[in-house]
Amino acid sequence: MARQIITAGDVPSSPLFSQGVRVGSTIYVSGMVGVDPATGELAGASIGDQTRQALRNCESVLEAAGCSLDDVAFVTVLLAHPGDFAGMNEAYASVFSDDPPARAVTRLGPELAGILVSITMTAHIAD
């Protein structure tokens, strides 16, 4: 099966990774952080602000792939500080309130200036 690179013009990007990749009916969204694409700056200093923005960035990639948050089967959340778990959960629940996808939460490995969270997703859509 061929890979299809997914690019959302309104999401921060890097030459080091694709924002998303589709293989068959599966969409893989790269780790998105809480950078506001309109400003190029972090959406805020709080875990809630950054979590909401990271989720919006993931959603933009999903939309560019022709799907939505309703198609997400699995989410991985990487936290810079485990103590931010409750704040992340509050923001996360505002997006995935009913029938949430499977999820794993772990610690973000590298220390990146000001970045509190990175979120990656896997979604499935009809061929």
Question: Which residues are CB-contacts of 22 (< 8 A; sequence separation ≥ 6)?
Answer: 3, 4, 6, 28, 65
pLDDT value, residue 76: 98
**In the prediction, which pLDDT does 110 show?**
79
The per-residue pLDDT for 5 is 96
Query: Hey, what domains does the chain have and what are their CATH numbers?
Result: 3-124 (3.30.1330.40)
Q: Measuring CA to CA, which residue among 31, 55, 18, 27 is closest to residue 109?
A: 31
| pLDDT confidence tier of residue 10, bands split at 50, 70 and 90 | confident
Q: How confident is the model at residue 112 (pLDDT cuts 50, 70, 90)?
A: confident
Burial category of 44 from C-beta neighbours within 10 Å (exposed 0-12, middle 13-18, buried 19 and up): middle
CB 33 within 8 A of CB 43: no
Structure confidence by residue, pLDDT tens digits, 68-107? 999 999 999 999 999 999 999 999 999 998 999 999 999 9
Query: What's the mean per-residue pLDDT of the chain?
Result: 95
Name the β-bridge partners of 123. Answer: 27, 72
* 117's tokens: 């969270």
Calculate mean pLDDT across residues 26-47.
Answer: 95
